[in-house]
Protein backbone atom coordinates (compact mmCIF):
# COMPACT_ATOMS: atom_id res chain seq x y z
CA UNK A 1 0.00 0.00 0.00
CA UNK A 2 1.43 3.37 -0.99
CA UNK A 3 2.00 6.11 1.54
CA UNK A 4 -0.06 9.22 1.41
CA UNK A 5 1.81 12.31 0.40
CA UNK A 6 2.26 14.86 3.17
CA UNK A 7 0.47 18.06 2.23
CA UNK A 8 1.92 21.30 3.55
CA UNK A 9 -0.78 23.84 4.15
CA UNK A 10 0.17 27.48 4.15
CA UNK A 11 3.59 29.08 3.90
CA UNK A 12 6.64 27.23 5.16
CA UNK A 13 8.70 28.34 8.14
CA UNK A 14 11.55 29.37 5.85
CA UNK A 15 9.30 31.57 3.73
CA UNK A 16 8.01 33.30 6.89
CA UNK A 17 11.58 33.93 8.09
CA UNK A 18 12.60 35.35 4.71
CA UNK A 19 9.51 37.54 4.64
CA UNK A 20 10.39 39.02 8.04
CA UNK A 21 14.03 39.57 6.97
CA UNK A 22 12.96 41.36 3.78
CA UNK A 23 10.24 43.45 5.43
CA UNK A 24 10.11 47.13 4.46
CA UNK A 25 11.87 49.39 5.12
CA UNK A 26 15.04 47.54 4.22
CA UNK A 27 17.72 48.50 6.77
CA UNK A 28 20.44 48.92 4.15
CA UNK A 29 23.16 51.01 5.80
CA UNK A 30 26.15 51.41 3.47
CA UNK A 31 27.83 53.79 5.95
CA UNK A 32 27.63 51.34 8.89
CA UNK A 33 30.89 49.81 10.09
CA UNK A 34 30.23 48.64 13.68
CA UNK A 35 27.17 48.36 15.87
CA UNK A 36 27.56 47.65 19.62
CA UNK A 37 24.40 47.07 21.62
CA UNK A 38 24.38 46.78 25.43
CA UNK A 39 21.27 45.98 27.45
CA UNK A 40 20.02 43.95 30.42
CA UNK A 41 19.63 40.23 29.87
CA UNK A 42 16.25 40.22 31.61
CA UNK A 43 13.72 42.19 33.68
CA UNK A 44 14.56 45.55 32.13
CA UNK A 45 15.30 47.37 28.86
CA UNK A 46 12.32 45.88 27.05
CA UNK A 47 12.56 48.07 23.94
CA UNK A 48 16.24 47.24 23.45
CA UNK A 49 15.59 43.52 23.88
CA UNK A 50 12.70 43.64 21.39
CA UNK A 51 14.92 45.55 18.95
CA UNK A 52 17.66 42.89 19.29
CA UNK A 53 15.17 40.09 18.71
CA UNK A 54 13.22 41.55 15.77
CA UNK A 55 15.35 44.19 14.05
CA UNK A 56 18.96 43.04 14.46
CA UNK A 57 18.44 39.94 12.27
CA UNK A 58 17.08 42.22 9.52
CA UNK A 59 20.07 44.55 9.92
CA UNK A 60 22.50 41.62 9.78
CA UNK A 61 20.76 40.24 6.66
CA UNK A 62 20.91 43.60 4.85
CA UNK A 63 24.46 44.46 6.02
CA UNK A 64 26.55 41.28 6.02
CA UNK A 65 29.89 43.17 6.24
CA UNK A 66 28.99 45.19 9.34
CA UNK A 67 30.39 44.10 12.70
CA UNK A 68 27.55 43.67 15.20
CA UNK A 69 28.23 43.07 18.90
CA UNK A 70 25.52 42.41 21.46
CA UNK A 71 26.29 42.52 25.18
CA UNK A 72 23.52 41.16 27.38
CA UNK A 73 24.53 41.96 30.93
CA UNK A 74 23.07 40.98 34.26
CA UNK A 75 21.40 43.86 36.04
CA UNK A 76 20.07 43.93 39.57
CA UNK A 77 17.38 46.29 40.80
CA UNK A 78 20.03 48.43 42.50
CA UNK A 79 21.99 48.99 39.28
CA UNK A 80 21.16 52.21 37.48
CA UNK A 81 22.85 51.83 34.08
CA UNK A 82 20.88 52.36 30.90
CA UNK A 83 20.90 50.49 27.59
CA UNK A 84 22.89 52.02 24.78
CA UNK A 85 23.94 51.46 21.20
CA UNK A 86 27.26 52.69 19.82
CA UNK A 87 27.17 53.19 16.05
CA UNK A 88 30.48 53.55 14.22
CA UNK A 89 30.39 54.67 10.60
CA UNK A 90 32.82 54.00 7.74
CA UNK A 91 34.26 57.52 7.96
CA UNK A 92 35.40 56.86 11.56
CA UNK A 93 32.73 58.87 13.36
CA UNK A 94 30.76 57.22 16.13
CA UNK A 95 27.57 58.09 17.91
CA UNK A 96 26.03 56.69 21.08
CA UNK A 97 22.25 56.26 21.15
CA UNK A 98 20.42 56.13 24.48
CA UNK A 99 17.84 53.33 24.33
CA UNK A 100 16.25 53.77 27.75
CA UNK A 101 12.44 53.64 27.81
CA UNK A 102 12.10 53.60 24.01
CA UNK A 103 10.06 51.40 21.73
CA UNK A 104 12.01 49.14 19.39
CA UNK A 105 10.55 51.01 16.40
CA UNK A 106 11.87 54.31 17.80
CA UNK A 107 15.30 52.74 18.27
CA UNK A 108 15.18 51.51 14.66
CA UNK A 109 14.23 54.97 13.38
CA UNK A 110 17.08 56.64 15.32
CA UNK A 111 19.60 54.11 13.99
CA UNK A 112 18.39 54.62 10.43
CA UNK A 113 18.61 58.42 10.88
CA UNK A 114 22.28 57.99 11.81
CA UNK A 115 23.34 55.38 9.23
CA UNK A 116 20.46 54.96 6.76
CA UNK A 117 21.61 57.39 4.08
CA UNK A 118 19.65 58.31 0.94
CA UNK A 119 17.37 55.23 0.77
CA UNK A 120 16.11 55.98 4.31
CA UNK A 121 15.53 59.65 3.49
CA UNK A 122 13.55 58.62 0.39
CA UNK A 123 11.50 56.15 2.50
CA UNK A 124 10.72 58.89 5.05
CA UNK A 125 9.57 61.32 2.33
CA UNK A 126 7.31 58.70 0.73
CA UNK A 127 5.75 57.62 4.05
CA UNK A 128 5.13 61.19 5.20
CA UNK A 129 3.58 62.08 1.83
CA UNK A 130 1.23 59.11 2.17
CA UNK A 131 0.41 60.06 5.79
CA UNK A 132 1.76 56.77 7.15
CA UNK A 133 4.06 56.16 10.13
CA UNK A 134 7.75 55.61 9.27
CA UNK A 135 7.81 52.14 10.78
CA UNK A 136 4.74 50.01 11.35
CA UNK A 137 4.41 49.28 15.05
CA UNK A 138 2.84 45.99 16.03
CA UNK A 139 -0.73 46.29 17.21
CA UNK A 140 -1.05 45.76 20.95
CA UNK A 141 -2.70 42.48 21.78
CA UNK A 142 -6.22 42.85 23.11
CA UNK A 143 -6.53 41.80 26.72
CA UNK A 144 -8.53 38.61 27.14
CA UNK A 145 -11.76 38.92 29.11
CA UNK A 146 -11.37 38.09 32.78
CA UNK A 147 -11.91 34.45 33.61
CA UNK A 148 -14.91 33.67 35.78
CA UNK A 149 -14.66 30.60 37.92
CA UNK A 150 -17.25 27.89 37.37
CA UNK A 151 -18.41 28.18 40.95
CA UNK A 152 -18.97 31.92 40.58
CA UNK A 153 -20.73 31.51 37.23
CA UNK A 154 -23.04 28.86 38.74
CA UNK A 155 -23.93 31.18 41.62
CA UNK A 156 -24.56 34.03 39.15
CA UNK A 157 -26.79 31.73 37.09
CA UNK A 158 -28.66 30.63 40.24
CA UNK A 159 -29.10 34.23 41.33
CA UNK A 160 -30.37 35.28 37.90
CA UNK A 161 -32.78 32.32 37.85
CA UNK A 162 -34.08 33.40 41.25
CA UNK A 163 -34.55 36.96 39.97
CA UNK A 164 -36.49 35.68 36.95
CA UNK A 165 -38.73 33.60 39.22
CA UNK A 166 -39.30 36.63 41.45
CA UNK A 167 -40.35 38.70 38.44
CA UNK A 168 -42.63 35.97 37.09
CA UNK A 169 -44.32 35.30 40.44
CA UNK A 170 -44.89 38.75 41.94
CA UNK A 171 -47.37 37.35 44.50
CA UNK A 172 -44.69 35.56 46.50
CA UNK A 173 -42.13 37.46 48.56
CA UNK A 174 -38.93 36.56 50.36
CA UNK A 175 -37.78 32.94 50.37
CA UNK A 176 -41.19 31.76 49.19
CA UNK A 177 -40.63 33.55 45.88
CA UNK A 178 -37.61 31.40 45.14
CA UNK A 179 -38.87 28.05 46.44
CA UNK A 180 -41.10 25.88 44.25
Q: Which of 51, 62, 53 is nearest to 24 (CA)?
A: 62
| pLDDT tens digit at each of 180 positions of the chain | 677 777 767 788 888 888 888 888 899 998 899 999 999 988 888 899 999 999 999 999 999 999 999 999 998 888 888 999 999 999 999 999 999 989 999 999 999 999 998 999 999 999 999 999 888 765 555 666 666 555 555 555 566 666 666 666 666 666 665 666
Q: What range defines the domain where residue 116 resides?
A: 14-130
Cα–Cα distance for residue pair 60/69, rounded to 1 Å? 11
Say whether both 81 and 154 belong to one domain.
Answer: no
Is there a domain that residue 39 lies in? yes
Say whether both 122 and 155 belong to one domain.
Answer: no
pLDDT score for 89 = 94
Q: Are strands 67-73 and 32-40 parallel, antiparallel or unpaired?
A: parallel
pLDDT score for 9 = 75
Main-chain dihedrals φ then ψ at residue 37, nearest 5 degrees: -115, 130
pLDDT score for 62 = 94
Do you find a cis peptide bond into 122, omega within 30 degrees of 0?
Answer: no
Q: Which of 103, 104, 102, 84 is nearest to 94 (CA)?
A: 84
pLDDT score for 156 = 54
The count of domains in the chain is: 2
- Spatial contact of 47 and 103, defined as CB atoms under 8 Å apart: yes
Amino acid sequence: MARKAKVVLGPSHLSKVLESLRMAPRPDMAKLKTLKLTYAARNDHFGARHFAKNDLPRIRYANPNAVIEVNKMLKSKEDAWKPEMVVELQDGTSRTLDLDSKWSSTIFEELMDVAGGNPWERWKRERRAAGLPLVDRPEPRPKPPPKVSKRLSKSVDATSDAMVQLLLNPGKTGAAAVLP
